[in-house]
Amino acid sequence: MKYLSDQVVSRLQAAVQSLDLAGTRYRALKFLGRGGMGTVWLAEDAVLNRKVALKVLTSDSGSEYLASRLMREAVVLARLEHPGIVPVHDAGTLADGAVFYCMKYVEGQTLDQHIANANLRERLQLLQRIAEPMAFAHARGIVHRDLKPSNVMVGAFGEVLVMDWGLAKVMETTSADTGNSNDGGAASQAGAVTGSPSTSHGTVLGTPGYMAPEQASGQVALISERTDVYGLGAIMSFMLGDSIDQQRELPAPKPLRAICQKAMAAEIFARYKSVREMSADIGSFLEGLPVSAYRENIVEKTVRLLRRHRAAVVLVAAYLLMRVLFILFSRR
């Protein structure tokens, strides 16, 4: 048996850990993790001297279907230029036949890690920021279909990015396509990838607990942006539930629970029409306004108004108290 020096051992370890990036501008730095469709690596772009993330489907996976799905994900991502969606820089095939795409390397935490120290208001604001790129994608006819806390990254500077568009579905037509000629162009581009592998009826793709019923039952034809509304509702439910467990706060206020329930309604048309509508309801709650998902009684309405106008109420109460005291003392 040949004796391997320390140098050879570490070289072999790097060789089996690393990708064969010969002939590319990238150099593998570190294995980051395994996703549903391949491995993700931290790499260095030698030309631009910056860190990037490479998502690679290993050549020994032996699946042309998965390879074309990965390429399709890259194409979908390339068409979604939004600050809340991780940008793709490059895509191709490595020397050993492995299909890859290169994207921005996001340093930060996944949503589930990040919210451990966030209060309720911060969590709701995060939800609104997740809704922004989702609304953008929906306007371009693309449904994510795998919204969950581990697919949302919160960057070092607070930026929120929706990741892992591997299960994204490109819709044939959208309302946004007809209303805006510029968007129509983008949508037609998106439509060009519908020819690549799509999901047939009966196929179940997604994450249990975050999948809408129509997705869990494989009714692909019923997938729409309301499927992502359900996913966002499931994330909201996770964030509210977590707040109870982790910080022993009071249970979430009824209007928030109602928003969650409406977003996660089993009946598709009972849900919010769009993530934008759901986000608006969350915004209303944050501003102390009534939310569309919840009909409050007179007591709740009074309490909400008192809270919303707390400063004015305190000022008026103080003024009245001073008047009373003034009258009492002036009579003596």
Partner 1 sequence: MDAISAAYWRPVYKYVRMRWRVDKEDAQDFTQDFFARMVEKEFLDSYDPDKGRLRTFLRTCADRLFLNQERHANRLKRGSSAVHVSLDVDEAEQELTAAPSTESPEDYFEKEWVRTLFALAVERLRAQCDAEGKKVQFELFERYDLGDSETRPSYAELAASLGLAVTDVTNYLAFARREFRRCVLNQLREMTGSEAEFRREAQSLLGVDPK
Q: Is 299 exposed, middle or buried (0-12, 13-18, 19+ CB in 10 A)?
A: exposed
Select the span of 7-15, 171-179, 247-255, 287-295 touching partner 1 (CB under 8 A): 7-15
Q: How far is the CB of 54 from partner 1 (least distance, A)?
A: 13
**290: burial class by Cβ within 10 Å (0-12, 13-18, 19+)?**
middle
Contact between 2 and partner 1 per CB under 8 A: yes
The answer to whether 46 contacts partner 1 (rule: CB under 8 A) is: no
Q: Is 203 in the site for partner 1 (CB under 8 A)?
A: no
Closest approach of Cβ 232 to partner 1, in Å?
A: 29
Annotated catalytic residues are 146
Q: Which of 30, 295 has the CB closer to partner 1?
A: 30
Count of residues engaged in binding partner 1, rule: CB under 8 A: 25
The CA distance from 189 to 271, in Å, is 29
- Amino acid found at 120: L
Judged by CB under 8 A, the chain residues 64 through 103 that form the site for partner 1 are 95-96
The single-letter code of the amino acid at 260 is C
Q: Which is nearer to partner 1, 60 or 287 (CB)?
A: 60
Taking residue 275's Cβ as centre, other Cβ atoms within 10 Å add up to 29
User: Contact with partner 1 (CB under 8 A): which of 24, 37, 38, 39?
Assistant: 39
Burial 228-261 (b: 16+ CB within 10 A, else e): bbbbbbbbbbbbbebbeeeeeeeebbebbbbbbe
Alpha carbon distance 329, 145 (integer Å): 69
Q: Minimum distance between the CB of residue 93 and partner 1, rounded to whole angstroms? A: 12
Q: Give the pair of three-digit tokens for residue 233.
A: 């509702």
From the list 19-27, 203-211, 270-278, 321-329, the region that binds partner 1 by CB under 8 A is: 19-27
Residue 15 near partner 1 by CB under 8 A: yes
**Distance (Å, rounded) from C-alpha 47 to C-alpha 100?**
18
Alpha-carbon torsion, ordered 316, 317, 320, 321, to 10 deg:
-150
- Binding segment (CB under 8 A) for partner 1, from list 20-28, 142-150, 239-247, 289-297: 20-28
Does the footprint of partner 1 cover residue 328 (CB under 8 A)?
no
| Cβ closest to partner 1, residue 36 vs residue 251 | 36
* Residue ranges in contact with partner 1 by CB under 8 A: 1-9, 11-13, 15-17, 20, 22-23, 31, 34, 39, 59-60, 95-96
